[in-house]
Structure 1
Amino acid sequence: MSDQGIRRRPGGRSARIRRAVLDITLEVLHQHGMDALTIADVAARAGVHETSIYRRWGTRENLMIDALLDEAEGLAPIPDTGSLRQDLITYADHLVVYLSSPVGAAFDRALASAGDDPAASEARNRYWTTRFAHSSQIVKRAIERGELPASTDVRLAIEMLVAPIHFKVAFTREPLDPDLPGRLVDALLGGLAGHGTFGRHSSTA
């Protein structure tokens, strides 16, 4: 197996190798935790050269982020209950459950601490762009139903909901209380409805 051969067939062999490496990485993370993950072990299990993994992902952290990102994209469904408050609470509940797990916490912390190399930057952008594209539907539907004013800054509203959760996991390492989603949502909706805190400004994209 050569890297030259992999590059010649990006839609075939390269994709299969990437899938195999990510699957092995997830298997190790779920069974043994982040500390047990090494590129040498993943390479041996996946049947590829270590240099191929280093060339594609650069670091162990980037490999872990890519694997967990691939998994995380399907773990937080976007609710549609017909109620903005219930949709936000359900969404935040799912996020709390995932980030309270060892693998979810490891993913969040790795994403926060990753460097600014191209692989890490691409992973961060991919994650946040994908999550916002999905979660923004909650706020957009609420605007269409008349629960929120049309001037609501959709991205800021979502950021204000999820930022405290990620902050506790990645930085203060505090446990996530089960009642946190409800408290965050009520605080957020108080600002949205009461003071126009999240209305768009001319400087907002």
Structure 2
Amino acid sequence: MTSESTGPGSVRPGGRTARVRSAVLRAAGDALAEHGLAGLDLADVARRAEVGRTTVYRRWGTPASLVADLLAAMAEQSLPRTESGSLLGDLRANARLVRRTLADPRQGALFKAVLAAATCDPQTAAALHRFYEVRVAEWEPCVRQAVERGELPAATDTREVIRAVSAPLYYRLLTTGDPLDEAAADRAAEAAAAAARAGAFVPPTA
């Protein structure tokens, strides 16, 4: 996915600039997972990444801008969707990918921090919305293909089906101390697939 943004941290040429960005974003992710947005300090990130403070301040300027670029990079680097040939197989692959991400000690903590920050910081919220738009757009074709195969009603809101797969996993992550295992991922996929087949994602006016 390309972007026309020219905001802080958005220039992505190769060579040293790309290596600096990679190091800084990795350091920012570590710091965010450890301390949350409130404890994200640009000078600390520069120290962790072993780059000059001036570079970090000039390219990103604020912690929120750094988080926005981190989310953009995460969207770019996410694994592509799996095509199994069936709706349930595709949704299960999606759910298991989400589960692996959220169950990872670093990534799970990182997403918790970003979600918390997004509730009170508009720039972080906008970056988070863009991240999920990219991920939903990546997986939406598997539901569209299921509609084309006749597995689902023609008017199914394909993007909502993808969102419904992830929602129970995020809810479990944020509201319980229960582990996120593959059984939880498979249940989420099965529930979304069953609801889609029953027409739950067909808009009332369709």
Distance 1:162 1:32 in 2: 22
Distance 1:33 1:108 in 2: 8
Counterpart residue number, 1:3: none
- 2:163 is the alignment partner of 1:159: yes
Counterpart residue number, 1:186: 190
Counterpart residue number, 1:175: 179
Counterpart residue number, 2:200: 197
Distance 2:104 2:163 in 1: 21
SS in 2 for 1:122: helix
The change in CA–CA distance for 1:43 and 1:65 in structure 2 (over 3 A counts) is same
Distance 1:191 1:11 in 2: 42
Aligned-residue sequence identity (percent) comes to: 29
Counterpart residue number, 1:105: 108
The change in CA–CA distance for 1:183 and 1:51 in structure 2 (over 3 A counts) is closer
Distance 1:76 1:117 in 2: 28
Counterpart residue number, 2:57: 52
Q: Using CA pairs below 8 Å that are at least 6 residues apart, which structure has the higher relative contact order?
A: 2
Q: Which moved more, 1:100-109 or 1:85-94?
A: 100-109
SS in 2 for 1:46: coil
SS in 2 for 1:128: helix
Distance 2:121 2:19 in 1: 22
Distance 2:61 2:176 in 1: 28
Matches within 5 A, 1:1-205: 11=11, 20-27=20-27, 29=29, 34-35=34-35, 38-44=41-47, 45-49=50-54, 52=57, 56=60, 58-59=62-63, 63-64=66-67, 66-115=69-118, 116-194=120-198, 196-202=199-205
TM-score of the two chains, using structure 2 as the length reference: 0.75
The change in CA–CA distance for 1:22 and 1:171 in structure 2 (over 3 A counts) is farther
TM-score of the two chains, using structure 1 as the length reference: 0.76
Q: Is the 8 A contact 1:65 1:107 kept in 2?
A: no
Q: Which moved more, 1:155-164 or 1:26-35?
A: 26-35
Distance 1:17 1:134 in 2: 28
Distance 2:16 2:122 in 1: 22
The change in CA–CA distance for 1:135 and 1:57 in structure 2 (over 3 A counts) is farther
Q: Which moved more, 1:120-129 or 1:164-173?
A: 164-173
Distance 2:123 2:179 in 1: 30
Distance 2:114 2:121 in 1: 12
The change in CA–CA distance for 1:105 and 1:72 in structure 2 (over 3 A counts) is farther
Structure 1: runs of 5+ lacking an equivalent: 1-6
Distance 1:185 1:65 in 2: 29
Paired residues in the alignment total 192
